[in-house]
Structure 1
């Protein structure tokens, strides 16, 4: 039975969204975390191979999942050039297994093909019906039932709903909305059933708080109320709930609704195309390659580009937290920066100083902190100011310069501070790398971003080749794509937003 299907045009900017959607779907299907992590690694390797080696840019890709008994079959179909190297790996594995009982070794592959085969030895790669197809199979865990949380101050309502749902579901109940909120964020359920009229906190207020947490973005919300036409119920409806039922709901009504929402959960994210920045855009003579969280609106990493009369202005912000909970500040920040530019404020230091004035004493973003990197681009010159944000990293064939000693204080912490500007001049051999602090810290949280990046650049032959080559679009794209794809964390791990931007 088909349980999930999505189709998209392949691009670097969309890979993060594909991974995130896949994570939520696999969790709903009760696939074990280690299998989810391995599928995430495989998917990243497979799709990046299509982009790098199979003329995959813009190609149509279809991902489908089928459930049969206790098994899930994942199928990836694409219309790129057939990967003979991957096909040969499978043929080699077949020959080895027919002549020896030894398992196929996981070796360093030029395109990560051994990784793909090593993670799922029983997977298949073949050409059929005019498209390339890749298939693998994983088991469904028998342990996990769909998790439903009931939030209601009435003991009798909780007892009734729990009785209705006690077969086939893992049901938890809370009479205190504040305790429920903490529990929901800690362990997001599949469905939350929320009463409207509660003395400690109204249901619509609780729903509003839930919607600020990215971890709860896939939780379906059912409002259970005795007054469906009340103002509170109407407000809740405007907050993006999934269903509203009137008390007393019957067992048949509730179970039918729950089954429908759980079925819809598997099909969420069918359209993987997201509102994103371009793969590349130009600022005068400089190409900008944004990758990672800055390519989606649902993140705390934000990249703003403003063409001005004195050159292009590039602002990279990192809001404390990540995902949807941090992205709520995007429109506010864009409006603030745009207002400065329209009113004639120029220069990186002046922009940051005005922003600091707006932030002090910390009331602009209420409960959040914003680190900021502002760059004025004029011809080949980058004039920059960092306020608590990782500094621009200068990449040249024989040297990497991190500039971290030039980072200045976060905005909003002090009333008066004079921010000073720094200058980088791009020549024929240098490139500039901008990163958010989630890059590589997702992989090793004990090491600083700079240490992780330096380690990767020293050990990666692909990046070394790009840095030693002439600055052409393809080599720059290879460099930034490699840096970004190698910074990805395991799917099951909670991680900070991570972004990489290359200027060349």
Structure 2
């Protein structure tokens, strides 16, 4: 069971951040933690308190910190009554380096220091307080237990029996009431709940109903375990789509087999749902370009080495947009859908004006700065206008395009800030391709924005210029496939003047 060994309440200020760093050091030293772990806790709590003072639109007027310990871990929980943090998981799960995670208000750094980090917005809690918590596991054995189970039972004797059955193989959380179980479930988000049907203040059916209103835990596997003999109560509880019901007393082997079967079924259903959603998302965002745009021949190649990915390409009249959204997986796909819809709608509205690339990026940047959802989205975008036989290019953080010929490789000196991060505006570069030249637009799955081209890559790019355009695009994409570990999706667009025009 968790035991609180320190608790403080305060008004968040820059001074209180320093004060609670010192108090933490005293209390954690009493718990015999090493100095480096204590310093990690100090860094995290001061970072979070400073964030409460600086960033939310509605700043917290009160906050509290509590330290907890079990046999397996030490954790810190910070409660506040300010505005909830948006898109928490997007920042934690992003593949951006820690140093680039400034918009995540230090969350990426904190996540790197601890074994477990979670956040519960106040809208899901009875007291309306946001909770940020992180854990340090005292042993590798506790940390490496891959699955977690929440036991909810007011019978402490039987809960001790279940603990003895399961603690060797699973991380356990224990609650003696539905209210306490609900609180733990929101915080720990276990893989499975084992709950008694009949308890004071509501039983398993009531807890199951509560979960359905919280997307993060609505699909948690759920088992009833009860010695209740009231048929009406059992029938009412079983009207929910739970995973299993088992009567007390239960033998250890029987319970372990039931848990394994339930978790395996949950894993299978989750994989099936994930696969179906991914396939739909991927098909919906599959980029398409014609083989000729104005006076230019065009070759497009796109690959997704793992599920998700944030690349998309949009051609509207004679304007081409290539975007790369931060992150991978279905979460990135969801944001790409929103961004693609926003861009399509904007381009349709502005179609009669046919904005220059820099003016379009300025409009987009203002939209990102003003919209609360887009403001939390990190995306790089390149815009290319086709003007007769000339190209106009502007960029918002996108990798610099490459000019490729059989004898030289050069980058186009076009750059600009990420959307929504600067009021400085954007500049565009005019590019006039020579007959033997090609322009390569690419996402960072091909080359990172700051990556230098080594001689081997330069030679391969020069060689590609000797191949027909479509074959050259295949050759360049093959370079991506040959990498030992390709984590990011990759999009390439090759452009070349059509000699027949």
Residues 178, 207 of structure 2: 8 Å contact kept: no
Residues 371, 389 of structure 1: 8 Å contact kept: yes
**Residue of 401, 417, 424 corresponding to 2:424:** 417
| TM-score, normalised with respect to structure 1 | 0.50
CA shift in 2, pair 1:374/1:419, >3 Å: same
Question: Which SS does the other structure have where 1:245 is aligned?
Answer: strand
Report the alpha carbon displacement of residue 241 of structure 1 after superposing the two structures with TM.
2.5
- The higher relative CO (CA closer than 8 Å, separation ≥ 6) is in 1
Q: How many residues align?
A: 307
**Residue of 473, 497, 502 corresponding to 2:494:** 502
Q: Any gaps of 5 or more consecutive residues in structure 2?
A: 1-142, 196-203, 227-244, 247-254, 497-501
Equivalent-residue separation in structure 1 for 2:492 and 2:391 (angstroms): 17
**Residue of 286, 310, 318 corresponding to 1:277:** 286
| TM-score, normalised with respect to structure 2 | 0.50
Question: Which SS does the other structure have where 1:286 is aligned?
Answer: strand
CA shift in 2, pair 1:270/1:197, >3 Å: same
Residues 350-409 of structure 1 deviation map (CA, whole Å, 9 limit, x = unaligned): 221111101226733354422221222345433221112212111111111112x42112
Question: Which SS does the other structure have where 1:227 is aligned?
Answer: helix
Equivalent-residue separation in structure 1 for 2:275 and 2:421 (angstroms): 43
Match in the other structure for 1:372: 381
Equivalent-residue separation in structure 1 for 2:322 and 2:151 (angstroms): 43
Match in the other structure for 2:436: 429
Counterparts of residues 458-469 of structure 1 (less than 5 Å): 458-460=458-460, 463-469=461-467
Counterparts of residues 216-295 of structure 1 (less than 5 Å): 221-222=191-192, 226-227=204-205, 231-236=209-214, 241=219, 243-248=221-226, 250=246, 251=255, 253-261=258-266, 274-275=282-283, 277=286, 281-284=290-293, 285-293=296-304
Equivalent-residue separation in structure 1 for 2:324 and 2:192 (angstroms): 33
CA shift in 2, pair 1:304/1:497, >3 Å: closer
Question: Which SS does the other structure have where 1:432 is aligned?
Answer: strand
CA shift in 2, pair 1:302/1:230, >3 Å: same
Residues 281-336 of structure 1 deviation map (CA, whole Å, 9 limit, x = unaligned): 4352432313234x98822x32131332xx1x322223333333433311221222
Match in the other structure for 1:298: 308
Rg larger in structure: 2
CA shift in 2, pair 1:244/1:292, >3 Å: same
Match in the other structure for 1:324: 330
1:483 equivalent to 2:487? Answer no
Q: Any gaps of 5 or more consecutive residues in structure 1?
A: 1-143, 177-194, 208-219, 442-447
CA shift in 2, pair 1:328/1:341, >3 Å: same
Residues 367, 374 of structure 2: 8 Å contact kept: no
Equivalent-residue separation in structure 1 for 2:454 and 2:480 (angstroms): 14
Equivalent-residue separation in structure 1 for 2:421 and 2:438 (angstroms): 32
Equivalent-residue separation in structure 2 for 1:330 and 1:434 (angstroms): 19
Equivalent-residue separation in structure 2 for 1:408 and 1:228 (angstroms): 54
Match in the other structure for 1:15: none
Residues 307, 328 of structure 2: 8 Å contact kept: no
Residues 221, 263 of structure 2: 8 Å contact kept: no
CA shift in 2, pair 1:304/1:245, >3 Å: farther
Aligned-pair RMSD on alpha carbons? 4.3
CA shift in 2, pair 1:413/1:255, >3 Å: closer
Report the alpha carbon displacement of residue 265 of structure 1 after superposing the two structures with TM.
8.0
Match in the other structure for 2:457: 457
Equivalent-residue separation in structure 1 for 2:271 and 2:182 (angstroms): 34
